[in-house]
Amino acid sequence: MGSFIQYTLQGLASGGFYALAALGLAVIFGVLGVVNFSHGSMYMLGAVGTVVALDEFGLSFWASLIVVPLVLFVFGVLLERGLVRWLLKLDPLYNFLLTFGVTLVIVDLVKRRYGSSGMPYDTPAGLRGQIALGGLELPTYQVFAALLSVLVCVAVWVILVKTRVGMIVRAATEEPDRSRALGVNVAMWVTPVFGFGIALAGLAGVLAAPTRSVTADMGTNFIIILFAVVVIGGLGSIFGAVAAGFIVGLVEAFGQAYAPAYAQVLIFVLMAGVLLVKPTGLFGSGEHS
């Protein structure tokens, strides 16, 4: 039972990274119809930015949780205004190729400035050690990362469901054509939504910095798994992205514990199984196909 709880916590912590980033990816896809391949590099920038914020500016981890996502929000706004929006009326493949190119440029620039080796980042002082829970000892940081990820996802859900602005964004994300037909100016929400999606990927990177090897290439494998998460949850589905993120995190954690050689293979086996049963994903409606 102790091992089961520990692996579950580990899965929820890593699933939180996937859930946050997939939530941003789902919102961007829903509003813009853009499959943002650069999302993995934004996750990487979040982690690298956390290291740089400490080493070069003396910012603590707690400050980075706020500052780094805000910086990436601004970067996302500039990226959308400067590049992405000019290709929105063309075939979606053009923006996919554009964001793929952006990824290559960002990764290369980070390698040139900080090298290819891992950049160490210590676990924040207040989050080191173990938390005693009954007869179990659980890593404090994993508990924190899992809880914060859940809280952020819940907060975003509350905003999307309980506020007028959130309802407009949710409608524009999940039913863009009907929203336009009902008079919602979807175009007005494109830029801030894109920036918001990038900021969520950055936040996932900040949370990952103390537990992952921070390198320029860390987003490469992440984006592949992230696409699997979004497909499992259903393209354009906000709830599906979050739920699938935590599901994939659990599958990965238990896979690493009991079948480490096949841990990531299991994720894609799960994806194939979901698509065989429900081609639009667990919570997808098929409206975006």
What are the extents of the domains in the chain? Answer: 2-218
From 248, 278, 196, 202, select the one nearest 29 (Cα to Cα). Answer: 196
Strands 136-139 and 130-133: antiparallel
Structure tokens at 235: 């393209």
Question: Is the separation of the CB atoms in 170 and 238 below 8 Å?
Answer: yes
Provide mean pLDDT across the span 136-161. Answer: 86
Query: How many other CB atoms sit within 10 Å of the CB of residue 108?
Result: 11
Q: What is the dihedral of CA 175, 180, 182, 186, to 10 degrees?
A: 90
Provide mean pLDDT across the span 142-165. Answer: 86
Provide mean pLDDT across the span 231-238. Answer: 84
pTM for this prediction = 0.88
**Using CA atoms, how far apart are residues 202 and 12, in angstroms rounded to an integer?**
18
Instruction: Give whichever of 144-158, 193-207, 232-246, 274-288 has the largest mean pLDDT.
Output: 193-207
pLDDT surpasses 50 at 289? no
**Using CA atoms, how far apart are residues 176 and 82, in angstroms rounded to an integer?**
23
Query: How many other CB atoms sit within 10 Å of the CB of residue 136?
Result: 14
Q: What is the mean pLDDT of the chain?
A: 87
